[in-house]
Structure 1
Amino acid sequence: MNKLVYPYQKSLYFHNSLANIIEHPGRYVQVEWQPTPMFSVSLREVHEQLLQLLKESQLSKVLSDNQMMPAIMPHDQDWLATDWAPRAVQESGYRYCAIINSHDVYNRLATTDLVHRVRGSVALRVSHFQDYDSAARWLLSSTMV
């Protein structure tokens, strides 16, 4: 997909009705979730495109801005925990995820549950934040021990 250049060296890699995936070259990938109904096909499309960008760019860090993200359905949580996250860690070297918490309480509950499930099975460090600047600072200062 052709990249559209954002200000400050950001590039829009992919977008659909559910999210924008933005590359910060040499730094991290940002996912901006939109306040739109959550459909499995759209969620999975976003994550497969995210995985593709992680592989292409050789980046290991993701900033997921979940502020406007709706709740994730249980079957999609299962897919993320048992299929997508293990593949992303194994195939692309995905290692860090900074999550800006959602305003939707059901999304926060689902995300917390998902993070607990993933932590036990893959080498992925996840932290939750209330704002973009804190999340970005954590990502940029993170290195695997």
Structure 2
Amino acid sequence: MLPFIGVRIYFENPVGRILEHPQGYAVVEFHAGKRNLSELQAFLRHAGQLLQRRSWNKLLGDQRLMNLFTPEESQWIVNYWLTRSNQGSDVYGAVILPHDVFARLSVSQVVSEAKAAAMTYRMFDSEEMAQEWLMQLP
């Protein structure tokens, strides 16, 4: 990630860390390495809680170092964001794609399955472009 002035760490576990960006969005950074499902669930629930607490509707997902999602993780992620759609809050996600080709494929699959969710995704190769898109949103 680029260094951010005024960014505060909201949550961190072996899956990654969640940051509060001073311009009104959550930064969700995935760490490299293996994950277990319960840690991933806690991680993404905290991201959702941050959005809800701050009344934010934008997040930047930095998945550059991430390993591919397992089928179980993919299914849980899709179901989690679909559940959020029932809460009436649309979320915009700028996703920085993983370096690993197989991880990219698993992210693309999750995004295509989550299209019906309350989350609008755009995928980017660079952090700068992802941030620029987020800042254009209301």
Structures share fold, TM-score greater than 0.5: yes
Aligned residue for 1:59, secondary structure, equals: coil
Instruction: Tell me, yes or no, if structure 1 residue 86 matches structure 2 residue 70.
Output: no
- Structure-2 change in CA distance of 1:10 and 1:40 (3 Å): same
Equivalent residue number for residue 126 of structure 1 = 121
Structure 1 moving runs of 4+ over 2 Å: 87-92
Helix, strand or coil at the partner of 2:59: strand
Provide the identity percentage: 25
Unaligned runs of 5+ in 1: 1-5
Q: TM-score, normalised by structure 1?
A: 0.86
- 1:43 paired with 2:40, answer yes
Shift in Å at residue 92 of structure 1?
A: 6.8
CA separation of 1:92/1:123 partners in 2, compared to 1, >3 Å: closer, same or farther?
closer
State the distance in 2 between where 1:123 and 1:78 align: 16
How far has the Cα of 1:26 moved from its partner?
4.7
For residues 122 and 108 of structure 1, what CA distance do their matches in structure 2 show? 20
Return the TM-score normalized by structure 2.
Answer: 0.90
Residue number in structure 2 paired with 1:135: 130
Deviation at 1:91, TM superposition (A): 3.0
- Look up the SS of the partner of 2:87 in the other structure: helix
Letter in 1 for 2:43: V
Alpha-carbon RMSD across the aligned residues, in angstroms, is: 1.7
